[in-house]
């Protein structure tokens, strides 16, 4: 069996260290340097010849994160690695998954093409914005389910009148999957946007009177949707409102909005590092989930067994 080595890009090292520790090996030594003009250079400081290499890097902005990952893949392939798996906890550009208006790029397909063009043999990611992005790849894709981490936490809260809510129509399937694990009902917050990151109107479909609401989504960006939804749900009589959201992009006024919102708490993962702490934001680590997935890939065991 090939030796396993785990390396990290510069922006996901905090998570990669935990994944490597959970797997039981030290994080590999890679140099990521920059020229004076910002150009990136990647080189491995140890042999990867014949090894099964796992490269960990989320591709949140800036695009340098993606470029780093691609250069590491190329360096590993040129150093005769046996297999190279890119571990992308947060797959950036996933919101650009289709042509929703004329003459627009499909960003998630562009990223897929880029990763495959440099020689990646496998992709491992978690809670894609749209599951069909897996079809953009011609290599194996391990799509991990974050509910494996979030469901035990929700159970630990022992909420009396649990009701799940989707913050928009697009998240109904994801929310229903959560609700089914608890035998609970769900409601939908139907929103209409004036433009990207700006909500024109929102209404609640379903009865939330006296319920403990848990909203479910894959990403939180400016936090406008979840904060407006929390306010609306409380106005409709909800007893408490919290949100479980995998990827904390949290750009612009997001932190201020969350701290001034009607949310009891926002529970997120560590796929993206927080810019600063907030008393309303709780972070759960996905390191154990990714470590187990890496182990199962190496030993050719089932990935779906980790979350079904």
Take residue 32 and report the two structure tokens written for it.
């990521």
CA gyration radius, the chain: 20
Element (H, E) at 6: strand 4-8
CA distance 218 to 246: 5
Take residue 301 and report the two structure tokens written for it.
């065991």
Q: Which residue has the tokens 């409380």?
A: 234
The catalytically annotated residue of 191, 228, 280, 282 is 191
Confirm whether 77 is a catalytic residue: no
**DSSP string of 14-81, one letter each residue:** HHHHHHHHHHTSPPP-EEEEE-TTS-EEEEESS--TT-EEEEE---PSSTHHHHHHHHHHHHHHHTT-
Contact between 204 and 189 under an 8 Å Cβ cutoff? The reply is yes
| CB atoms inside a 10 Å sphere around CB 99 | 10
| CB atoms inside a 10 Å sphere around CB 11 | 21
Contact between 227 and 215 under an 8 Å Cβ cutoff? The reply is no
CA distance 253 to 258: 9
Take residue 142 and report the two structure tokens written for it.
């391990």
Take residue 183 and report the two structure tokens written for it.
């035998």
Q: Which residues are catalytic?
A: 191
């Amino acid at each position: 069996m090939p030796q396993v080595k785990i390396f990290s890009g510069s922006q996901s090292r905090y998570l990669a260290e935990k994944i490597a520790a959970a797997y039981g090996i030290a994080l590999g030594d890679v140099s990521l340097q920059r020229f004076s003009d910002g150009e990136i250079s990647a080189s491995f400081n140890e042999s990867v010849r014949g090894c099964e290499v796992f490269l960990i890097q989320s591709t949140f902005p800036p695009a340098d994160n993606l470029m780093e990952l691609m250069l590491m893949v190329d360096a590993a392939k040129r150093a005769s690695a046996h297999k190279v798996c890119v571990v992308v906890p947060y797959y950036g550009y996933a919101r650009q998954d289709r042509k929703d208006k004329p003459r627009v790029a499909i960003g998630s397909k562009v990223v897929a093409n880029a990763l495959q063009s440099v020689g990646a043999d496998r992709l491992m990611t978690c809670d894609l914005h749209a599951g069909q992005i897996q079809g953009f790849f011609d290599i194996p894709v391990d799509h991990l389910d974050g509910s494996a981490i979030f469901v035990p936490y929700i159970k630990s809260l022992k909420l009396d009148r649990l009701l799940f809510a989707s913050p928009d129509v697009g998240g109904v399937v994801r929310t229903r999957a959560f609700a089914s694990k608890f035998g609970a009902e769900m409601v939908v917050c139907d929103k209409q946007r004036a433009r990207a990151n700006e909500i024109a109107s929102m209404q609640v479909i379903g009865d939330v009177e006296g319920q403990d609401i848990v909203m479910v989504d894959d990403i939180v960006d400016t936090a406008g949707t979840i904060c407006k939804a929390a306010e609306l749900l409380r106005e409709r009589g909800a007893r408490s409102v919290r949100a479980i959201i995998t990827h904390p992009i949290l750009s612009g006024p997001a932190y201020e909005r969350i701290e001034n919102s009607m949310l009891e708490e926002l529970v997120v993962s560590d796929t993206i590092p927080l810019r600063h702490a907030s008393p309303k934001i709780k972070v759960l680590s996905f390191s154990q989930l990714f470590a187990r997935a890496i182990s199962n890939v190496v030993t050719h065991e089932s990935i779906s067994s980790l979350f079904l």
